[in-house]
Amino acid sequence: MTLLQILVLAVVQGITEFLPISSSGHLVLVPAVGGWQDQGLDMDVAVHVGTLFAVVLYFRRDVWGMIAGFWRMLRGRRDPYGRLALQIAAATVPVVIAGFLLKDMIGTVARSLAVIGWTTLIYGILLWVVDRLCMTVKRTEHLTWTDALVIGLAQVLALIPGTSRSGITMTAARMLGYERGESARISMLLSIPTILGAGVLAGWDIAQTGDWQLTNAALIAAGLAFLSALVAIALLMAWLKRASYTPFAVYRIILGIALLAWAYGVW
């Protein structure tokens, strides 16, 4: 891989992982536009590890609070952060089960350009509609077990490329009445066990093939993904304090139409 390819891949993945615009839709475009071959599984693991560190660092207070709160609950104390940790864990269960059962189908049939185009478009429209019509009254401390389960079930849809894990979980949280910034916060916290689990599974697959090489390219990609993801998270959270999801929804709609035009040979 060239340095330019590493740079583009890491920055695109880092930015799109947490914005509600579908990282898979963009990663389809990267090799096609650049004329590059697929980056390989080890590079996918590297950029995901980079984005994982970014979200943990940005939400370090929440992460530490959940760890400490869970420990206090084990000692018999009631703790709101400990409850949040259990809710995040429970919300992760559906995607773990679905990912295990549907792994083969997701890796083949669902990765077509047409599928990515349709999911990018449809869930972009859904994000726009939900964000405009639903209330903004709830915060993370209002998260119920039912809400956590609904958001967790919505995350299962993200196994279909183009849906966007962050996009569908933010949409579900907005549908339930959570504030825009709080919807993003819940989505980001939910991404931690999801990305960690996916990274561990991908790393295990690499170890099984005996093709694991922690090369300079992987380290550079992880570092760049970390930096770009950290900037993307900070900008998104700042934007949602004063504005809506509309620009992201409009961008998704345009991208979805472009991908469908490409898939069906319109251009």
Q: Which pLDDT does position 201 carry in this prediction?
A: 73
Q: What's the distance, Cα to Cα, between the start and end of the chain in Å?
A: 29
The predicted structure's pLDDT at residue 119: 94
For the chain, which ranges sit under pLDDT 50? none
Would you state the pLDDT for residue 131? 97
Helices (H), the chain: 3-16, 23-34, 41-58, 60-74, 80-101, 103-106, 113-133, 145-156, 165-175, 180-209, 216-240, 246-263
- Give me the pLDDT at residue 99, please: 83
**Phi, psi of 178, rounded to the nearest 5 degrees:** -80, 145
Q: What is the pLDDT of residues 66-97, one digit of tens each?
A: 999 999 999 989 999 999 999 999 999 999 99
CA 243/CA 185 separation, integer angstroms: 15
Residues 254, 15: Cα–Cα separation, whole Å: 18
* pLDDT value of residue 214: 57
The amino acid present at 57, given as its one-letter code, is: L
What is the structure's pLDDT at 121? 96
pLDDT at 71: 95
